[in-house]
Amino acid sequence: MDSARERLDHLWRRGREFLGTEYAIMGGAMSWISERHLVAAISNGGGFGVLACGSMPPHLLAEEIRATQALTQKPFGVNLITLHPQLDALIDVCGEMGVGHIVLAGGLPPSAAIRRAKATGAKVICFAPALVLAKKLLRSGVDALVIEGTEAGGHIGPVATSVLAQEILPVIEDVPVFVAGGIGRGEAVVAFLEMGASGCQLGTRFVCASECVAHPNFKASFIRAAARDAVPSVQVDPQFPVIPVRALGNNATKRFADFQIKVIARFRAGEIEQKEAQLQIEHFWAGALKRAVIDGDVENGSLMAGQSVGMVTREQPTAEILGELVTQSLVALMGRKGPISVCTGR
């Protein structure tokens, strides 16, 4: 076991040093879920919690950061959505509150936002859904990257985690790269570390943590679900694009397809303009995540979940989840033989 621990320490050394944590395991920022309690629990457990700002205005973000700081002395980050209309003010709040890591997500961040975030003294982490964008972000001065595959929950891209890892990890060496999407066990963490990742990010695996504030109905849906139950949202007509979201199927997902058909039919009949039809389709899910996570309406709300949901089998403390991931990683490494490859632990 000591030899395996030395190998693991070597493999994710760069990620641990970048995050300032015992484990190079980031918590995915999930709206309404990744709030003060879960974020602090992940950081206190040795990982790196990430606070989801979502649509919060600056004053609420400041309150949430302050409340998280009251629950943990360990490092944690803040995830900001690049399309937020008050992005600059949110970045400034992070600077004023002494946030050490800012994650810019939800689209390719403008260079000005990256510069503003770095000017606060924080390390800036961005998502790279393709190699060409990873290189562009490096030129913009980001300090680390997350590559997230289509197996993830929430808004997703079209490429699998395993493919992104093969395309990006051998090429990007200047900054730490964290892998996300469909990761639920330590064996997968080790596999990506051995490919050159500096660490991994997990979201779905932490939804049923004891410290997570999600409604018991929401957690029960995850515990019952299999991997195949987490499916992308359906787009009825390419003329009315739908940004794919991976979630557990329920009555709302079925109604969404019917709703698109009816709205598009009204457009075809000349009853509404195309812009209005598109807005109606986009607004269908407004408030749906909160309805499920906080209110517990798992039939009419959105059950955003990654395909790793099949590995969520019970509610348990965050520290126990992290401990299982590390133990699984060590057991996997105990079966490895030979010297550590020169391409790992970059």
* CA gap 147, 325 in Å, rounded: 20
CATH of the domain at 13: 3.20.20.70
Same domain, 181 and 250: no
Q: Report the domain count for the chain.
A: 2
Give pLDDT, residue 152. Answer: 98
- 20 belongs to a structural domain: yes
Same domain, 159 and 71: yes
- 163 belongs to a structural domain: yes
* CA gap 208, 228 in Å, rounded: 18
Give pLDDT, residue 1. Answer: 76
Give pLDDT, residue 335. Answer: 79
The structure tokens 């940004």 sit at 243
- Judged by DSSP in three states, 322 sits in helix
In the beta sheet, which residues pair with residue 81? 105
Give pLDDT, residue 341. Answer: 45
Give pLDDT, residue 342. Answer: 38
Range of the domain at 259: 226-304
In the beta sheet, which residues pair with residue 101? 77, 123
Per residue of the chain (346 residues), what is the pLDDT tens digit?
789 999 999 999 999 999 999 999 999 999 999 999 999 999 999 999 999 999 999 999 999 999 999 999 999 999 999 999 999 999 999 999 999 999 999 989 999 999 999 999 999 999 999 999 999 999 999 999 999 999 999 999 999 999 999 999 999 999 999 999 999 999 999 999 999 999 999 999 999 999 999 999 999 999 999 999 999 999 999 999 998 999 999 999 999 999 999 999 999 999 999 999 999 999 999 899 999 999 999 999 999 999 999 999 999 999 999 999 999 999 999 977 655 443 444 4
Same domain, 124 and 271: no
What sections of the chain are H helices per DSSP?
2-11, 13-19, 36-44, 58-71, 87-96, 111-119, 131-139, 161-168, 186-195, 216-224, 251-268, 274-283, 288-293, 318-334
Give pLDDT, residue 286. Answer: 85
Q: What pTM did the predictor assign? A: 0.93
> Residues, the chain, total?
346
Residue at 155: amino acid letter: H
Same domain, 128 and 203: yes
